[in-house]
Amino acid sequence: GTCVRPVVVYGGVSTGHQIRDLEKGCNVLCGTPGRLLDVIGKGKVGLSKLRYLVLDEADRMLDMGFEPDMRRLVGSPGMPNKENRQTLMFSATYPEDIQRMAADFLKTDYIFLAVGVVGGACTDVEQTFIKVTKYSKRDQLLDLLKTTGTERTMVFVETKRQADFIATFLCQEKLPTTSIHGDREQREREQALKDFRSGKSPVLVATSVAARGLDIPDVQHVVNFDLPSNIDEYVHRIGRTGRCGNTGRAVSFFDPDVDGQLARSLITVLSKAQQGVPTWLEESAFNDHGNTSFNPPRRDFGATDSRKGRAFPDNSVVTQPNDPAVADDDEWE
């Protein structure tokens, strides 16, 4: 309904249709790093008139190994230099590697804006933990989903095989469920998401990798059937609910034999979100105190602007930098 013409390009599907769409011109081009580099390399996209460059979920792209592609993209022929374009970088966490990229990609006097606690859990998400054993998870999940009715629920598991297994189990129990993971073809993923959004399958079982970057509105519940190995991934997962001022609920199954190394980090997240900490979780953190694999949140969830060396736990803006970090030549490929 507007005069703005968007085009999207991404992998997993044929480039032919996307290129034909591109050749008609566009005002907004949205895409994944690899496919963007592909169409730029084929001369289908000119960058000389680019005014705005947006890097969304920068920390997720970094975790997925896209930093070389992002650097190649920013260094593409015709790309205006950082002082002659407006670059926006969005990230749920702000660790040192993201800050280094910010110094390389953004203007020298870029603004650092922290909304809430960067990397912390939203206070609109009610976090609940259920102590389980490996073999009790499935029945616990079934009991839980029987109480949610038709509300949209995302269930996170660690493996692709587990995603299919749990989805099949729930369907057999008369709970309409679909799943997405890395082995699914693009059309299968799109169909699964369509069924989830429409309510045909109100339960979506997903691996973390497959769910990254998805924007699904009105997700009422998130279930961590398997907890992730690091706290940042946990924060990202539960952030699928409780968006745009809505309340949400996140339920996590905690197996002390498997998840003990995450206990102290979870306590930190709960405390910062002003939510209660189960006594048994505190005991698990204490019992696992000698575990050297403890994975703490990155420097107060990364909410530190290295140019100032200050932490910003609340909404903050920084406009006067000191010396920005210099890009490491080894990272340009």
Grade residue 55 by pLDDT with cuts at 50, 70 and 90: very high
Q: What is the mean pLDDT of residues 266-278?
A: 92
Predicted pLDDT at 255: 96
Helix, strand, coil percentages (3-state) for the chain, rounded to 5, are: 35, 15, 45
Is the model's pLDDT at 118 over the cut of 70? no
| Residue 73, pLDDT above cutoff 90 | yes
Exposure pattern of 182-214 as b/e (b: 16+ CB <10 Å)?
eebeeeebeebbebbeeeebbbbbbbbebbeee
Question: Would you kindly state where each structural domain of the chain is located, as residue ranges?
Answer: 6-117+303-331, 125-287
Domains 6-117+303-331 and 125-287 share a fold: yes
Rounded distance between C-alpha atoms, residue 30 and residue 318, angstroms = 28
Confidence of residue 218 (pLDDT cuts 50, 70, 90): confident
Query: What is 6-117+303-331's CATH number, 3.40.50.720, 3.40.50.10190, 3.40.50.300, 1.10.10.2840?
Result: 3.40.50.300
pLDDT for position 313: 45
Distant-in-sequence, close-in-space partners of 20: CB < 8 Å, separation ≥ 6: none
Whether domain 125-287 has CATH 3.40.50.300: the reply is yes
Residue 255 in tokens = 């197996």
Average pLDDT, the chain: 84
**Per-residue pLDDT at 245:** 72
pLDDT of 127 strictly over 80: yes
* Measured distance CA(33)–CA(267) in Å, rounded: 35
Give the C-alpha separation, 205 to 256, whole Å.
Answer: 23
Percent share of the chain, pLDDT over 90: 58
The 10s digit of each residue's pLDDT in 141-182 is 999 999 988 899 999 999 999 999 999 999 999 999 999 998
| Confidence tier at 126 by pLDDT (50, 70, 90) | very high
301: nearest Cα among 58, 116, 156: 116
Q: Are the beta carbons of 328 and 104 closer than 8 angstroms?
A: no
Given pLDDT bands bounded at 50, 70 and 90, which one contains residue 64? confident
Q: Per the confidence metrics, is the pTM higher than 0.85?
A: no
Residue 62, pLDDT > 90, answer no
**Residue 4 clears pLDDT 70, i.e. is over it:** yes
